[in-house]
Structure 1
């Protein structure tokens, strides 16, 4: 009798985590505040994983420093299968490039478990800003504010900050990237028209865009996003260098047994293949697709190498 791959994954996911001490709950570390896109994604996955594994799964928010605090917490966590880190590219690939001492080395301190999606960063305009497109916004800044404008970003020394700097240089404007402790407080200021625009991930911005509380006007990537077919890419606007999409993945502390990593990876594969979970992740602006531990490690190295060149060419000095 043939057994389907889905049945095999479900059976593997149901195996007990024998290495976990005293059947402790599984923690999913998140480096950003509750209410943001990463938090929403982690909570969706946590709920589905809890049902799949039959084990309590909790989301542990450790906001601050662009995910650095959560990453340091992962580094010091016991490698017993009780702690995993839900993270995107900024913490794993970008922070080690822009900080002299981030307090962790992904290659030495973490084990890639699995990747589950890619996503696009986007430029969004606040509801009270009189512009309908990115060119409109840049023209408005030049006319109304003498070429000076503040654009929110969810973390300092991040891809959104580099994008703001490039837009300013390309258009002869003094655009200042204003860093926040995550997307949630940045979006709150955008909704209150305390800041005219912001750059963040589509998962962070999509709900307010759909509710017409703010307007996404450009996205990264080689093609338009499925959930935003009307929104142009930066490449279409003649802004090159932002075609490679960032990723989301799960990471464990170094030393986590390979069998534990494999079981959790199999559980994640089963979860994201569930129609309801996949549909919700897609609605949040993710392109869902499973990456093995080895594939996630390869993608992380390639993404880091690509951004190392961009950061160096821009003259940014590690802080």
Structure 2
């Protein structure tokens, strides 16, 4: 007896293979192959809700959920200048489901000013991707008669008898060191009043409970635009596009604050590279969306995607700059 032909079997086998290939390259299937697809990602914020970092995190979380195919939840862990959030990141599993959105203070400054912060950025974290740089700024409250930085200095020397309090969002932070150096430069007895984040500091400035404050431009810009506070000087090497009327400290004669801080995403050390790549790629795609780019820029951010390697280089350079400044002030780690 003749054996049955295998042509039909070969045909159906080829069709099945083609069908499988098509399914593998379908958008849904491609997304399903991503490490974080279908999972819940916790985006840690080291400051209270209502501040600049929190607002940025919520914008990114909403955009990233589509690109990652995951649920992205903003989780505020305020306290100690982001220290509690950083410790939570260190304790999280290294699978990409817990990320830390942080600027320079927690990653670059805290390890230099706190003896035992409970984490080591170089050993415990891996930079995933950066998305912006920004500057810190000096602002006066609406109840202060000063309309410029020099007018503020003159007002403190006159009405304040040379003494004044300036709010800062965290102790032993870049804003606090700026207050110290401004006091030395202009022979003022300025005291940095530390808060637990920018939101409570802004509340006191809006209530005219404190005459001045130093914070990031994203923290200050909306109230500056509405006239509730007045930004009178910015750090950085050039005036900010969002605040073209505000001079830099270098223009005012206080040099040394040209290096700008950064914003980025960090993951626990040991997170697999495919997962890191997925997050970095997703972040690059959402930053390319004109609407999101414009919203972040309007908040005073210079928006640009940085790879994990670039973010790491930026963090190390900034850390080195501020290490020199902190040592020059004579500050002793607490």
Q: What TM-score does the superposition give when structure 2 sets the normalisation length? A: 0.90
Is the 1:17–1:81 contact (alpha carbons within 8 Å) kept by the matching residues of 2? no
- SS of 2:331's partner is coil
Is the 1:17–1:260 contact (alpha carbons within 8 Å) kept by the matching residues of 2? no
Could you tell me how far apart the structure 1 residues matched to 2:278 and 2:75 are?
Answer: 21
Equivalent position of 1:15 in the other structure: 31
- SS of 2:137's partner is strand
Equivalent position of 1:222 in the other structure: 237
- Equivalent position to 1:251, from 266, 271, 276: 266
- Equivalent position to 2:91, from 53, 76, 100: 76
Equivalent position of 2:175 in the other structure: 160
Is the 2:134–2:301 contact (alpha carbons within 8 Å) kept by the matching residues of 1? yes
Could you tell me how far apart the structure 2 residues matched to 1:283 and 1:81 are?
Answer: 29
Equivalent position of 2:65 in the other structure: 50
Structure 2 unmatched ranges of 5 or more: 1-26
Equivalent position of 1:32 in the other structure: 47
Encode CA deviations 1:44-101: one digit per residue, 9 max, x unaligned.
Answer: 0000001222211110000010000000000000011101000000000000010100
Could you tell me how far apart the structure 2 residues matched to 1:89 and 1:17 are?
Answer: 34
Matched positions, count: 307
- Equivalent position to 2:187, from 157, 163, 172: 172
Structure 1 unmatched ranges of 5 or more: 1-10
Is residue 133 of structure 2 the alignment partner of residue 133 of structure 1? no
Structure 1 residue 301: Cα displacement: 0.7
Is the 2:34–2:278 contact (alpha carbons within 8 Å) kept by the matching residues of 1? no
Is residue 226 of structure 2 the alignment partner of residue 211 of structure 1? yes
- Equivalent position to 2:139, from 118, 124, 132: 124
Could you tell me how far apart the structure 2 residues matched to 1:184 and 1:70 are?
Answer: 17
Is residue 329 of structure 2 the alignment partner of residue 318 of structure 1? no
- SS of 1:291's partner is strand
Could you tell me how far apart the structure 2 residues matched to 1:252 and 1:183 are?
Answer: 24
Encode CA deviations 1:94-131: one digit per residue, 9 max, x unaligned.
Answer: 00010100100000000100010000100000000010
Equivalent position of 2:283 in the other structure: 268
Equivalent position of 1:188 in the other structure: 203
Question: Which of these two proteins has the greater Rg computed from alpha carbons?
Answer: 2
- Equivalent position to 1:147, from 139, 162, 178: 162
- SS of 1:128's partner is coil
- SS of 1:93's partner is helix
Counting only pairs closer than 5 Å after superposition, residues 55-66 of structure 1 correspond to structure 2 as 55-66=70-81
Could you tell me how far apart the structure 1 residues matched to 2:80 and 2:39 are?
Answer: 28
